[in-house]
Structure 1
Amino acid sequence: MSKIRKLLSTLYHAFFNFVLHSFKSINRRIRSKLPVWRMREETAEHVHSSIKVFKWLILPASLFYAFLMFFFFKVNVLGSMLWGLAVFFYSNFLPDLPSIYRRKAADSGVESLPWYKRYVILLFAPLLVWILFSGIRLNWRTTETYHNFKSLTVYSVFLFVVGFFAFIRFPIQTGNLIEVIIFPLYGIAGYLTHLKVDKIW
């Protein structure tokens, strides 16, 4: 039992350090003035919350879902379930990723982005982070914080479209349709977890 706890503790700290290092690198790149202690504190809050929700809700529900899908529809959803779990953890930190293009509402002289560019920043945040580290500077600035239910709705629709093209099989069967519908729920759960930690709801 102690070995299992040690392994879980190691995984927890590896996850925490990965997230913290990632955001420290991003903030260093954009010359953020956010102090390291605050970054560490916020990372700890979100990591702890994501692990807690995963352990008590997402993992049991996923196993139950996989069992029911195989029992009733003879559909193996292991692949989409694993991708869903990855999306859950990713979504726990997604609302903070677009901060590299955020500006204060009081800032002047910066033209507001059209709505579609604002959501490109959210939906393709990892790509834009990669562009940032590639040395390419996009002159995009937005006051959008993405810590709201409108952004969550846009993200949910995006995940449904991604899930449809990734997991749909023709001719479409009931089990396969359920699999496509379930996939975005992982992202919604992760996003909601982040908003809960930040006291948005």
Structure 2
Amino acid sequence: MNRSRPKTKRSRALGIALTPKCVRYFEKRPFPPGQHGRRRRSESDYSQRLREKQRLRAQYDIREAQMRRAFAEAARKTGKTGENLVSLLERRLDAFVMRAGFARTIYQSRQQVVHRHFLVNGRRVDRPSYRLRPGDVVTVAPRSRDKAPFQLAAAGAWAGTGPAPSYLEATLSDLRATLVSVPERAQVPVICDEQLVVEYYSR
């Protein structure tokens, strides 16, 4: 999803660092952007729910329509809707590529997927929204392996952004990763109160 607004400003507005590069700017100015960013303002229930929804959207870099479709599907499943929603979003191919350590950010992983650098079970997939199932194997296409970003990934350059979640197995030296199980909310490293997201869409 192409957004012209600087990611640093979005990070400050949402209260989370959306990229590793934003961390130092966010730590330096941990308040919303703008002339009145330092002022403490009381938040309504609606604004709190809206912010949590926007936080979740921003961390997966998806459009509102995609978010609504994912929520509708999560609501149809058994179990807690919020946890189902996070699990569905986490099984997107672009999110998996980032968690596996093949890309540093969701923006980079999305671009790599669109540029047809990945195979799923041996078949090329160029849709970031492609949903993986347990047992699916994601590999970097043979012709893409010599490209600089994947050489860095194979050397573990992006693994420093955090350990791989336990629901996947990644072999960076082989540029190969497998979805072992359906992600559970406790395993997913996103900053969000998913219950407030459910309340936002259920209003």
Asked if these proteins are the same fold (TM beyond 0.5), I'd say no
Which protein is richer in strand relative to its size? Answer: 2
Q: TM-score, normalised by structure 2?
A: 0.28
Larger radius of gyration: 1
Which protein is richer in helix relative to its size? Answer: 1
